[in-house]
Structure 1
Amino acid sequence: MDEYGRDHARKQGSAVAWVESPLQMLCAVEAHHAGLLGDRTRLVPRAKLRPLTVTGRELSRLALPDGLELAGPEPGMPRPPHRRTWVVGDAFSGKVQVGWLTAFPRRIVVVDDGLATIRLLELLSGRVGTPLLRARASAGPLRTALGAAAGLRLRAAARSGRLSIFTALPVPAELAKAVQQTGAELVTHDFSWLRSQPLRRPRPEERTVVLGTSLVRNGLIHRDRYLTWLAGLGAAEPVAYFPHRREDPDDLARVREQPGINVYGGGAPAEMTLRGLAAEQRVLSLPSTAVTSLRVLLAARGVAVETVEVPEEWWTPRAAPSLRSHLSMFAHHDTGVTR
């Protein structure tokens, strides 16, 4: 499908977006604003996830793009009417993959889901037949077969010009070229809708803002090393700590005990809660998706967003070299990426 055909397809019909994380929800809004989804989009969050409830509440206070509907939560992936555009974030979800195989969406749009988005691009442009499975997944024969079938269906959508990936992540130029050679459309964005919205919450008073991490709960870095580092920051100056949505409550309780650390309420994406920081403030984070997006959002405000390199002794045996390599792409401004 040529570019004219893609543009024509976007202007027709409607889309259903199934989101399972705050970042997916925000990026689905940005994709609709960018004109990638058609003139009407129904945004459906997964039920019983508090961060999605918080994010939806934050979004409802802003001027949503015309044609976007914030629908009520549903426990499972909705079955969009035949031939609509399907928007998802987690391409490795079994429910999503079954949906691709049992229905015939007009188009498929994948929005950001953190590091998993980069893995999807690598698998999509890699060897045909490779199953779409999470990097650290231990899958049995049936799940592997589902991932392989979903990979074939997604590659077929790419060849026919019916697959778009919408991302704000730094995609290495060589990988971007390989993805485009499959026929998939790779669309980058800079949160233009969010940047246009007025600020509705006060910024934290602390000069230093630290983003929480899921690396501890996932068993990839040692808990005590991480907490010792935070304690050192709090001893030097007051610190505003914004938890990761998957941080363990017991770990957060220990963070709150650290002198000088003020833990703020979590839930909404950092892109929404921290976009009003002032030039004299700074953001510290272990490697994460939020590093890239906050640099985009805060560049004009003169706010430094710094990635903390993970010392070798912090890593656990579960942190494979390939994972460390993936995370390193979020560490630097100059990454040799395409945008």
Structure 2
Amino acid sequence: MNNKLATPLTEVGDRDLTTATAWVETPLQFLSVLEAHHSGGFAQRCEVVPRQGAGALATTVAEIERMGPPPNLTVLPAREQPHGSRTDNRAWFIGDAFSGQVQRSLLRASRQHCVIVDDGLATLHLLRLLVRPHPVPLVRARVPATASRKALGLITSLRLRSAAREGRLTVFTVLPLPEELARGAERRGINVVQHDFAWLRSQPDLGAPPERRVLLGAAMVNDGLIHADRYLEWVASHAAAEPVVYYPHRREDERTLGPLRQMPGVRIVHDGLPVEMGLRALTAEHRVVSLPSTAVTSLRVLLGARGVRIDAVDVPHDWWTPLASPALRAHLSTFVSDPTGSAGGEIASVGDTAPSGGAIDNDH
């Protein structure tokens, strides 16, 4: 994988470099747009439109406004749908290319430079679909799609593949791509740009939690993929070893949060911020444990140089429900090992509750 920086402005060609626009629906998408703009590789200014009604996103926007966003980036009032898609050739930042609203906006677009930013596991799913030999509909994994949605997804696939051939498609990501996927993206003409949270790392932190052990919550119970009792037993085993601070996934519900509020040794933090923001002050005294998620990778990139242990847990077979297909299980397992080979983390077994000083140490 070529860990290159964003394409310099002087190489973007004859596009309008004045202002890029962005439509964001989640905290991670917003944070990724901030990093893309900060890289200086896409436009001199950026206007960000948040999706209306997304509580966690509104909290993140408010915190970024308090911190002060990167220069020449403006957050516009929230809207229910993408700001009328432009038909000129400005850059357009997109988080969720599987969104029907985004796909319909792409139909109205002309020759925009599309920049796909991270949206959790969906980013890799999107790339895998785009590099296939023949176009396939861009529809969400595990979600049944109607004939009309498949038709819209197929047209979107054709549009993005055309943009890639013309050098107008970039994926801006913190995720390391498997070598085969990286080669496929290169053959397709997709410009993959990796980043390391340069802007976020330059910002003052919020202070580290007093607990040395940090658990990242998962939405897999809410999604029906794993059994709640197994998951809660796992959290309890960590809390029995030492006090833990628990950062819920934004899609967790009362099936996990209700019992966790009553669990001894567990302090739940509901700050509404992406963990990359909320945990950026962690030190080498801390240990982060998580089930497979993109947060494992992003925190390793963000905190690895500080010596923070980021451990990912491989989900045991008896945790899974019938809704978790073998393909999904295999896909999630790619977020367990540390592909960089750095000291940023190891694979932790579910039963491992070694203290923070031990050798073990986890889409928010």
TM-score (norm 2): 0.88
User: Which residue is equivalent to 1:283?
Assistant: 288
The answer to whether the Cα contact below 8 Å between 2:98 and 2:138 also exists between their aligned partners in 1 is yes
Per-residue CA shift, 1:283-313, capped at 9, x if unaligned?
0000000000101111121110000111110
Matches within 5 A, 1:1-339: 6-8=11-13, 12-83=17-88, 84-199=90-205, 201-334=206-339
**Paired AA for residue 302 in structure 1:** G
Deviation at 1:125, TM superposition (A): 0.3
Deviation at 1:165, TM superposition (A): 0.5
Deviation at 1:106, TM superposition (A): 2.0
Deviation at 1:6, TM superposition (A): 3.8
The answer to whether the Cα contact below 8 Å between 1:209 and 1:282 also exists between their aligned partners in 2 is yes
The answer to whether the Cα contact below 8 Å between 1:86 and 1:105 also exists between their aligned partners in 2 is no
* Counterpart Cα distance in 2 of 1:211 and 1:257: 18
**SS of structure 2 residue aligned to 1:28:** helix
**Paired AA for residue 332 in structure 2:** L
Deviation at 1:4, TM superposition (A): 8.1
* Counterpart Cα distance in 2 of 1:26 and 1:3: 20
Deviation at 1:11, TM superposition (A): 7.5
The answer to whether the Cα contact below 8 Å between 1:243 and 1:265 also exists between their aligned partners in 2 is yes
* Counterpart Cα distance in 2 of 1:81 and 1:37: 16
- The alignment covers a number of residue pairs equal to 335
Deviation at 1:137, TM superposition (A): 1.7
* Counterpart Cα distance in 1 of 2:309 and 2:10: 41
TM-score (norm 1): 0.95
Per-residue CA shift, 1:219-259, capped at 9, x if unaligned?
11111100111111112210000000000134212111111
**Paired AA for residue 116 in structure 1:** A
* Counterpart Cα distance in 2 of 1:262 and 1:4: 46
The answer to whether the Cα contact below 8 Å between 2:117 and 2:172 also exists between their aligned partners in 1 is yes
Any unmatched runs of 5+ in structure 1? Answer: none
Per-residue CA shift, 1:142-190, capped at 9, x if unaligned?
1111111110011000000011000001211111111111111010111
Deviation at 1:141, TM superposition (A): 1.0
Per-residue CA shift, 1:4-30, capped at 9, x if unaligned?
874345781211110111000000000
**Paired AA for residue 185 in structure 2:** V
**Paired AA for residue 299 in structure 1:** G
The answer to whether the Cα contact below 8 Å between 2:85 and 2:106 also exists between their aligned partners in 1 is no
**Paired AA for residue 149 in structure 1:** I
The answer to whether the Cα contact below 8 Å between 1:207 and 1:280 also exists between their aligned partners in 2 is yes
Residues 1:258 and 1:146: Cα distance change in structure 2 (over 3 Å): same
Deviation at 1:204, TM superposition (A): 1.0
Residues 1:11 and 1:195: Cα distance change in structure 2 (over 3 Å): farther
**SS of structure 1 residue aligned to 2:142:** coil
* Counterpart Cα distance in 1 of 2:15 and 2:254: 42
User: Which residue is equivalent to 2:345?
Assistant: none
Task: Give RMSD over aligned pairs.
Answer: 1.8
The answer to whether the Cα contact below 8 Å between 1:10 and 1:38 also exists between their aligned partners in 2 is no
**Paired AA for residue 104 in structure 1:** S
The answer to whether the Cα contact below 8 Å between 2:9 and 2:17 also exists between their aligned partners in 1 is no
Deviation at 1:37, TM superposition (A): 2.5
* Counterpart Cα distance in 1 of 2:115 and 2:204: 28
